[in-house]
Amino acid sequence: VQLQASGGGLVQAGGSLRLSCAASGSFLTIGPMGWYRQPPEKPRELVAGITVDGRPNYEPSVNGRFTISRDNTKNMTYLQMNDLKPEDTAVYYCNARIRRTLSGGNFDYWGQGTQVTVSS
């Protein structure tokens, strides 16, 4: 199982970016999905999560600016980021809880990270 994230880049404050994350490989189901970020020299933090049936939750500082979504037919999740601020600068990682087999459990998988840099 692999998660492939894309869409990061350099943008000016107030701009927008859309991150995408695709799950591939052999698995049965994808449960909750989410986006995390890790600013320089800081711990990784949850930015937004989404349940299987599409209910989102957001870290307070991004609420109203970021929108998480998912397409279960394509095994993808997206993070639309608007009104970006310099403090949003970080490496962004996608995450998914995946069940590979009927007898196996659910495990968290991570994408490789994509850099988002917001200039002031």
Which of 28, 68, 71 lies closest to 47 in space, CA to CA? 68
Cα–Cα distance measured from residue 120 to residue 100, given in angstroms and rounded to the nearest whole number: 43
**Predicted pLDDT at 47:** 98
**Predicted pLDDT at 112:** 93
| Tens of pLDDT, residue by residue, the chain (120 residues) | 999 999 999 999 999 999 999 999 999 999 999 999 999 999 999 999 999 999 999 999 999 999 999 999 999 999 999 999 999 999 999 999 999 988 889 999 999 999 999 999
**Predicted pLDDT at 36:** 98
Identity of the residue numbered 45: E
